[in-house]
Structure 1
Amino acid sequence: MEDFLATHSISTNIQVAWGEMDALQHVNNAVYFRYFETARLDFFNQINMLADLKTTGIGPVLSETNARFKRPLTFPDSIIVGIKISDITQDRFVMHYTVFSKAQQAVTTIGLAKVVMFNFKTGQKAKLTPELLAALSKHQ
């Protein structure tokens, strides 16, 4: 687990809930996207990405997201979702998720999201601010 944490400067701890399991006795595939969302919002808050959303109307939206399941998760467990950033351009970037099971001491799932900055007032793409570009670059 130390190696995992050392390679993921931003990570979020999440408890697996019994109600997240499906009839096949493992966490349902759709739940992983909620795990990703929780980690994504935690990351956004840590780099202050949403601070100006109300005043500027500019914020992140997903253009694509996916998951690759390597091992099933079951209750009880606690996971860590690590995030890395890549492919940063003026108006978008890619978030890479890695889900680590504390019970299994193994990576169970990997995923990614393509995030685009969007101006909700104009309905158009927007540029990342220099501050956000710098914050994202620290997590490549």
Structure 2
Amino acid sequence: MARYRYSCPLRWSDMDAYGHVNNAVFLRYLEEARIDFIHAVKQGATQGNFADGSVVARHEIDYLRPLVHRPEPVTVELWVAKIGAASMTVSYEIKDAEHTFVRASTVVVPFDLAAGRPRRVTPEERELLLAYADDAAEEAVAA
């Protein structure tokens, strides 16, 4: 399984009154990494891809340790945990060389902007996402 890596800078405005990254800011870090990932995957697509329209259906976050401001960015590693008929689940770890600060997942649904409704995952999208799928996602697709 390949993991996609995004280098995420910390901003002074990300800090809360206690001097660490505010819990809500982690959603922005996940979003930045996910958008970067989707646009990277999009480069291999000729039609129908998540970058043409998608919505978040669910977030789940486990905060493992506080992250304090520092000049070095953190790494957001992400991979595809599940590919369904009309969604994908992206899993993440936000970390540095020594610690993992957050583990999270997001369910993303492809969305037809013109029709104003969700749509199915295309075979081409499925194939592109498999490059970043963990073993469980690959087995689910094969079944």
Residues in 1 aligned to 2:56 and 2:64: alpha-carbon distance in whole angstroms = 23
CA shift in 2, pair 1:51/1:18, >3 Å: farther
Q: Among residues 56, 62, 70, which one is paired with 2:64 in the alignment?
A: 70
Query: Runs (4+) of structure 1 moved beyond 2 Å?
Result: 49-53
Q: Does 1:130 align with 2:123?
A: yes
Residues in 2 aligned to 1:101 and 1:8: alpha-carbon distance in whole angstroms = 18
> How many residues align structurally?
129
Task: Tell me which residue corresponds to 1:3.
Answer: none
Task: Tell me which residue corresponds to 2:53.
Answer: 59
Please report how far the alpha carbon of residue 114 of structure 1 lies from its aligned counterpart in structure 2 after TM superposition: 0.4
Q: Among residues 85, 91, 106, which one is paired with 1:113 in the alignment?
A: 106
Residues in 2 aligned to 1:108 and 1:58: alpha-carbon distance in whole angstroms = 31
Residues in 2 aligned to 1:37 and 1:80: alpha-carbon distance in whole angstroms = 13
Letter in 2 for 1:60: S
Structure 1 unaligned residues grouped into runs of 5+: 1-6
Please report how far the alpha carbon of residue 51 of structure 1 lies from its aligned counterpart in structure 2 after TM superposition: 7.7
Residues in 2 aligned to 1:21 and 1:8: alpha-carbon distance in whole angstroms = 31
TM-score by length of 1: 0.83
Please report how far the alpha carbon of residue 52 of structure 1 lies from its aligned counterpart in structure 2 after TM superposition: 5.8
